[in-house]
Every structure is written in C-alpha cells, then in structure tokens.
Structure 1
Amino acid sequence: MRVAYVSVATPSSRRSWSGIPWYSLRALRERFPDTHVIDTPRLDRAIETLAAAERFRVNVRRNPLVSQLYRRAINAALEQIQPDVVVGVAAAHKLALIDPKWPMVYASDALFGTVVDYYLKYHSYTERTRRQGNKLQRELLKRTDRVLLASSWAAQDAMERYDLPHEKVRVVPMGANIDSVPTFAEPPLDGPLRLIFVGYAWERKGGPLVLDIWRELHGRTDGNVELHIIGSRPKAALGLENVIVHGAIDKTDPAAYRTFIDLYQNAHFLLMPSRQEAYGIVYCEAAAFGRPSIGTETGGVPTIVRDNETGLILPFDASPKAYADRILALWSDPGRYRAMCHAARKDFEERLNWTQWGQSVETAINEAVSGH
C-alpha cells in the first residue's frame, strides 16, 4: 500500500504542532513503509508570514486563494507519487480542493467550525471568514472517505454541524508524544503531595486556577504540597514557597528528557484545568507514566481522562476548594490512589498511544481504499 501523507505542519520536527505530525508519521510508517511525505515548506513559511493578518480577524489559511495554491502543489506531488490513499493530519486548508480521485483518510483533533466556535481567540472572526472556513471544510469532507477525530466531543459536533453520516466518522484518540514507553514506577507516598502543570499557554490551560488550587492545598496540608510548572514561566508563580518553575524542557535533549521523566515519576498528579482544550496530548503523557490527571469537563478532555477511573474531571466552574476536596479525598486513600495510577497506565497501553492510533488509521485506510 502506497500512502501520501500531508500534515498541518512539517513532520520533520518534533516541535511542529506539539509533535503530532512527527509521531503520527512515525506510527503510519510502522504499518505502511511505503509512505511519502508531501511537505510544502516554502508555501507554509509564506502563509505563516501572512497569518499575521489574523489580528485583523482574517483567517489567511482558510482563504480560497491559499487553498488553490496548496491544491496545485499537492496535486502535482500526488501525480508523481501515485498513492493508493492520502492521509491528512489537521491539514484541511491544504487538502480541501485537491483532486477527489484519491481515497482519503483525514485525522484531526476537531474540525473548523468546532474549533472556531470553541476557542476564545477565534471569536473575533468575521462572518465572512467563518463562511469561507466552513465552505473549505465541507469541500474537504466531500473528498474524505473516513474522518478520524480525537474525541467524542469533536466527533459528535462534526456529525451534527456538517451532516456527516455516523459510519464515516471514528473516535480515534491520539497518543503520548514520547519516544519510548517509560518504565512504570510506583509513586512515592512518603513525601509531599507533588503536582505538575505542563503547558505553554498558561492562561488558556488554567494556570491562574492552578495557583489558586495550590494555595488551597497549601493551607490545608500545612504546606506539605509542591507544584512544578513545566513549559510556562508565569510571573505570578515566581518566589512562591514550594512552587518550582522549570520553564520549557526540550524533550529532544537527553539530559532535559531525563529531568522530564524524573519530574513525572516523582509527581502524584498532573493538574491542568484547561479553559479550552480540543484534546490535550499532555494528559496522554501523564497516563504513560501512570499518573492520574486532574482536568476540566471541557472539549475533548473527558475522552482522555475518565473521571474517578484514570483521573478526576471537575465541572468548568468548579472552585479551587472543590478541586482541593477531591484531590485530598483521593490522596488520603492510598489504595484507591494507587489503583488509579495503574488504571491510567493501562489506559495508555490500551488506548492512548500512537501504535493504537496507527492501527485505527490502518483500518480506516483499508475501508477507504475498498469503498472509494
């Protein structure tokens, strides 16, 4: 089977779109060695430069002229490759207008309308921009044989919003972006309660709420709680007792990656009460280490974190006290807490990994090719 692969950003770098293109391509090539990447770096750079216009409420990537440029480049590449199927990863603006003769499987965290109506940063888009984006999304869906979405939230909205038949859509969770499966280590229970936050978008991922939860826990445990912040360097967290700000950790650097592993293996919970989160790869990473996640009932998070099974999910408007109550109730029951750690790890092994994603994509490819 010959596969053509197109992603929203280059798969040649782990830093592209949280590493999803890199790891999805690797998973695909494990099953289909004859996979050919269609990369468009020059066009991508030009579009990224023009994307500065988004501050004027214009979505450059969904402009029909941009999709025409991608159509020309990608069609030419496809004619050379002559694939049996095209696999697109969150590349709607690149694939929306390509020749429909190729079977296609499209995977993403969510579709255009879902994302634009959900994330606050897109609420300023004009009606014209929204119409253009939704039109291109529909054009892509007409060319797509299978749509693989990372969460039940995204899949349900896609079917309702774009009138997609149920048999065309699959819920296929993405995996943890780690190069090798970490050894499961029992969490240490003889020290302070250790929480970690992992994310660059401090505000959107609930950073201010994290600090409020930490203060609540700090007061109720006589200060016997630590908070480790990875990715962000929020000024509000600097100088706080038992709050350690690590900043960005480059997982491609062996020494830095060792630090990353040590932080997880010594932690007890991932705490990330996001305000908007279409998916959240970091919850999968926590599960890989066998650590429960604490998140918010929003977007795709409840697909990854199963409340009271592999972590804790609280209502969007839950107070810091409500978070602290549930955390301490679980933490004070070592047997239940350890069972949840093992359940999180098992969920990673069975569901939240790129190997399982690749298997689901293989099934979708076979269906697409046979039914196109």
Structure 2
Amino acid sequence: MKIATIVLGDIDALTGGYLYMRKAVEYLRAHGVETEVVRIPALPVPYLLHLCSTIALCFRFPWRRYAVVLEDEMAHPALCLFNHWLTVTTQTKIVVIVHMLWWKAARNSLKARYVRFIETHVLKTADRVIANSHHTKAELETMGIPGASITVIHPGCDLPLSGTRAPDPREARDRTTLQLLTVANITPLKGLDTLIEALARLNDPALTLDIIGDEHREPRYSQRLKARVTRYGLENRVRFHGQQPPDKLASYYADADIFVLPSLCEAFGIVVAEAMAFGLPIVATRCGGIPELVTDGENGFLVPPNDSASLADAIQKLAADPTLRDHCGRRSYEKTRNLNTWDECGKQIFTVLAAIRGERRG
C-alpha cells in the first residue's frame, strides 16, 4: 500500500498533534507501508489566504498513485478545495486525523463561523475520520459528521519505561520546596495567566512552577505573562524554560511533584498522559478530552477553566497532603496501563487505512 501524509508545517515540531502524526508515519513505514510526507508551508499569512495553497497541492503529485491520503486536519484551509478535486478526479481514499477543531479556538464569533464552515466541508469529503478522543468525536457529530465514519484512536504514551513504574526522586529529595510543572506552548488557550493568578493567591514561597513550552508562538502574550509574574512578585517562584527535547523533558517530569494544565481548550492532553506515566498527581481543567484521563478526586482534581480560585484550591489540597499526593500519583501511573502505547496507536491507524482501501466510495 502506498499512501501520502499531508501535514501543515514541520512534522518534527514539538507539539502533541505533530507527535501523533510523526508516530503514525514511523509505524506505517516500519510495517512496510510506503509513506510519503507532503508538507504544506505554514506561512504567516491571514487564514483565508491559505486556501490559495490548494491550487499548488492539486498539481504537486500524481495523486492517483496513492491508495490513501492521510491528512492532518490542521491543514484544513489547504484541503478544502483539494479534497473535492481529489474525490472527483481519482479513486484515492481520504482519511482525516483530527487533533483539535480550530473553530473552537477562534477568538471571535465571525471567525469561528467561517472556520467551522471550512472544517466541516473538509471533514465531509473524508472517507474516514480519526478522532483523538471521545470528546473530539462528539464535537464532530455536532458538525454533522456521521458517528459511523469516525474512529477514536487515542494518542500513545510510552513514558518513561514500558511496564515499570518510574523511579520516584520525590521521596528522597529535599522537601523545602514543592515543584509544580506545566508543559504547554505559551498561548492564551493554555490558560497560563490563570495559573499565575492561582500561584499568587497561594502566596507560598515553597511552591515553585516550571513552565516548559514555546515562548515564540505568540510573543506578545508571552511578554504579558512574564510581566504578570513580575507584577505579582513571583520571579523567584516561576521559571520559563522554553521548548525542551524529549530526554530533557523527561527529567522535568521526574523531578516534579504536581502536574498542572489549566487549558481553556484541550482535545486530549498528551502531556497529561505523559505526566501520569511518571506517577504525578494532576490538576487540570474540566475541558475537552482531559476527563478521559483524569478522574476528579482519584488521580488528581478537575477545575473549571478560567477559575484561578478553584485552581489554587486544588493545588493547595495536594500541596498540603503528602499522602493524597502519593495516592493520586500512584493512581495516575496505574491508569496509564489502560492507555495506548504509540505502537498500538500506529497499529489502529494502519487497520483503518487497510480497511478503507478496500471500500467503494459513495
């Protein structure tokens, strides 16, 4: 079987969505599927101008030679007309992977409406849609995508070691501080301003926060966030580390006491699963697919988005009670046994592609 995988930008980028696509390609190639990655440039131009890249995409390759085109839904502006052209001119099947729906992240209602329109059009041209969580599937169904055409394939989680509990340096470490960890790109959707406010509410010098994530995606927001840290007098308690490679990131997970993700919108939360694999108790927002990973009061706490008081209370509960932290951390690790590995994720994607190849369109 020969397939093409279409992604927007650099497939090696350090985000959960790109990791999912990268692992899928690695699995397919390792199992004999000839897989070509087609990169659509992520240009800094207005959203609607990305529609123009459809024309170049149509004539970039002889698409008839591919049995299936596997698409990252993040590239939806370029796929809008391309998918229609592909279904009319070829028998190539289309499978779209949805990591998140971009209309949900739009900052005004007008943009949300036209982004939703374009995303819906792209998804309705697909022969099969892969959703990264049951929450994402439910959202797709509200857009008119038939549930029977959607397959839920959760991302993988292989950290830190398959089948063994991570060594717990927290038990032997100096207990004068308690380290919170957040892994998230510095953008408004990640709710980091709410986390800074929560930390200021706690007013506990022993609580420190490490933030791992790209500071250059939205530089103005990043600057405002750091200014807020200064305004609250938290310079000695909040540390920004930028993006980190996987091996370095693992050391931050291993050294943390509590993992916090205050997102406003999170389709699944790969970083939550990674933190759970390191036996960390979780404090996160009750949004998107996060409740598929975190059970409130069992392996952590779920709070409403944009609620610094509730976020502070949840952090304080864990910070003040070592026994509760240990219980929630152990339950986090135990729950990862029921999560996909990346190998299982790849196998499930392969199964979808193999099945769709033999189906007749229409």
Question: Within the alignment, does 1:214 sit opposite 2:204 as a pair?
Answer: no
Task: State the alpha-carbon separation in 2 of the partners of residues 28 and 350 from structure 1.
Answer: 23
Q: State how many pairs are aligned.
A: 336
Task: State the alpha-carbon separation in 2 of the partners of residues 135 and 208 from structure 1.
Answer: 31
Q: Deviations over 1:237-257 (max 9, x none)?
A: 3562641423313306xxxx3
Task: State the alpha-carbon separation in 1 of the partners of residues 314 and 105 from structure 2.
Answer: 27
Out of 268, 273, 279, which is 2:262 matched to? 273
Counterpart residue number, 2:26 = 26
Check the 8 A contact 2:195/2:311 in 1, yes or no. Answer: no
In structure 2, what residue type is equivalent to 1:168? S
Call closer, same or farther: CA 1:15–1:196 in 2, change over 3 Å: closer
In structure 2, what residue type is equivalent to 1:161? M
Counterpart residue number, 2:343 = 355
Call closer, same or farther: CA 1:150–1:309 in 2, change over 3 Å: farther
Where does structure 2 lack aligned partners over 5 or more consecutive residues?
Answer: 216-221
Check the 8 A contact 1:287/1:348 in 2, yes or no. Answer: yes
Q: Deviations over 1:196-228 (max 9, x none)?
A: 122232433122211222223334xxx322211
In structure 2, what residue type is equivalent to 1:97? H
1:1-372 pair list within 5 angstroms: 1-11=1-11, 13-15=12-14, 19-30=19-30, 32-40=31-39, 44-45=40-41, 48-49=42-43, 51-54=44-47, 59-61=48-50, 63=51, 65-74=52-61, 76=62, 78-79=63-64, 82-90=65-73, 91-92=75-76, 93-94=78-79, 96-100=83-87, 101-111=91-101, 115-116=102-103, 118-121=104-107, 123-125=109-111, 129-130=114-115, 134-135=117-118, 137-142=120-125, 144-162=126-144, 164-175=145-156, 184-186=166-168, 188-189=170-171, 191=175, 192-219=177-204, 223-231=205-213, 232=215, 234-238=226-230, 240=234, 242-251=236-245, 257-258=247-248, 260-320=249-309, 322-372=310-360
SS across alignment from 1:69: helix
Where does structure 1 lack aligned partners over 5 or more consecutive residues?
Answer: none
In structure 2, what residue type is equivalent to 1:88? E
Q: With structure 1 as the length reference, what TM-score do the two structures score?
A: 0.77
Task: State the alpha-carbon separation in 2 of the partners of residues 135 and 203 from structure 1.
Answer: 23
CA-CA distance at 1:156 after TM superposition: 0.8
Task: State the alpha-carbon separation in 2 of the partners of residues 135 and 126 from structure 1.
Answer: 10
Check the 8 A contact 1:284/1:352 in 2, yes or no. Answer: no
In structure 1, what residue type is equivalent to 2:194? L
Task: State the alpha-carbon separation in 2 of the partners of residues 348 and 28 from structure 1.
Answer: 24
SS across alignment from 2:167: coil
CA-CA distance at 1:270 after TM superposition: 1.5
Call closer, same or farther: CA 1:349–1:89 in 2, change over 3 Å: farther
Check the 8 A contact 1:280/1:300 in 2, yes or no. Answer: yes
Task: State the alpha-carbon separation in 2 of the partners of residues 8 and 272 from structure 1.
Answer: 25
Call closer, same or farther: CA 1:187–1:339 in 2, change over 3 Å: farther
Q: Percent identity?
A: 20
Task: State the alpha-carbon separation in 1 of the partners of residues 212 and 13 from structure 2.
Answer: 17
Task: State the alpha-carbon separation in 2 of the partners of residues 179 and 269 from structure 1.
Answer: 17
CA-CA distance at 1:120 after TM superposition: 3.8
SS across alignment from 2:331: helix
Task: State the alpha-carbon separation in 1 of the partners of residues 202 and 118 from structure 2.
Answer: 48
Task: State the alpha-carbon separation in 2 of the partners of residues 229 and 287 from structure 1.
Answer: 17
CA-CA distance at 1:161 after TM superposition: 1.2
CA-CA distance at 1:97 after TM superposition: 2.8
CA-CA distance at 1:139 after TM superposition: 4.7
Call closer, same or farther: CA 1:157–1:244 in 2, change over 3 Å: closer
SS across alignment from 1:99: helix
In structure 2, what residue type is equivalent to 1:36? T
Check the 8 A contact 1:284/1:353 in 2, yes or no. Answer: no
Task: State the alpha-carbon separation in 2 of the partners of residues 67 and 139 from structure 1.
Answer: 12
Check the 8 A contact 1:148/1:171 in 2, yes or no. Answer: yes
In structure 1, what residue type is equivalent to 2:71? G
Q: Once superposed, what is the RMSD of the aligned Cα atoms? A: 3.2
Task: State the alpha-carbon separation in 1 of the partners of residues 253 and 122 from structure 2.
Answer: 43
Q: Deviations over 1:307-336 (max 9, x none)?
A: 33333211235342x223333334444444
